[in-house]
A and B are shown apart, each in its own frame.
Chain A
């Protein structure tokens, strides 16, 4: 089975801090994704990456950046955390270029910004 591991289940940070959320997958998947999940809004795509050192903006990239130095690891960075970034963050991965393949998700990181 594919395993997508997010480094923290719960995280509490303060406004203005630089925050790193880490995600690792063990199936050599090319594509990796970061979403945030908020009540009533569903999942919204922040960034995705289709290869090492490659990234594409999703629907809500403002206030975030990403890093993919190795194929298995995709990091989400909150440059200067703000309270409106309090949310559940979900990482996912999938194999390249096969639209009938599902995305595999981690268990999520619930981030609170105080």
Chain B
């Protein structure tokens, strides 16, 4: 079945460092891909999405490109801030009307 694998954390960075969180997927068909962020004590919020190959999703300085050839959707940010500390989830859409399939999440901790 479809699945998502993302790098295990925690990821610990200093402020202004470059961030990459790896995400690869296995899917039949052509899923849409998502990154969600969960700040402490809150639910998940959509960070960005891409719906077809070579699409780049971007938001709040974060970017991810849908790479069909490598089945990847890595999250990047050029300069992280303390406020980016959160748990990040990669997800893909299954069949229409069904739930998203999530990775296990990666905890990011940014220190000043």
Chain A interfacial positions (CB closer than 8 Å to B): 4, 30-31, 33, 35, 40-43, 45, 48, 50, 58, 90, 92, 96-100, 102-108
B83 interface contact, C-beta 8 A: no
Specify which of B34, B42, B43, B96 is in contact with A102 (CB 8 Å cutoff).
Answer: B34
Measured as residues with beta carbon below 8 angstroms from the partner, the interface class of chain B is 20 to 34
- Also in contact, A99 and B103, with CB within 8 A (given A90-B44, A105-B44, A108-B42): no
| Pair B100/A105 contact, Cβ less than 8 Å | no
| Pair A108/B95 contact, Cβ less than 8 Å | no
Specify which of B31, B43, B99 is in contact with A48 (CB 8 Å cutoff).
Answer: B99
Interfacial chain B residues near A99, Cβ < 8 Å: 31-32, 93-96
Main secondary structure of the interface of A (DSSP, over half): loop
- Also in contact, A42 and B45, with CB within 8 A (given A33-B99, A98-B96, A100-B51): no
CB distance from A78 to the nearest CB of B (A): 20
CB distance from B104 to the nearest CB of A (A): 4
B97 interface contact, C-beta 8 A: yes
Chain B interfacial positions (CB closer than 8 Å to A): 31-32, 34, 36, 41-46, 49, 51, 89, 93-100, 102-105
CA distance A30 to B97 in the complex (A): 9
- Also in contact, A42 and B103, with CB within 8 A (given A31-B97, A48-B98, A97-B97): yes
5 nearest A-B pairs in the assembled complex, by CB-CB distance:
A42-B104, A105-B43, A99-B93, A100-B51, A100-B32
| Pair A50/B43 contact, Cβ less than 8 Å | no
CA distance A41 to B45 in the complex (A): 19
Interfacial chain A residues near B95, Cβ < 8 Å: 99
Interfacial chain B residues near A97, Cβ < 8 Å: 96-97
CB distance from A33 to the nearest CB of B (A): 5
Most chain A CB within a 10 A radius of its CB, from B42, B44, B89, B94: B44
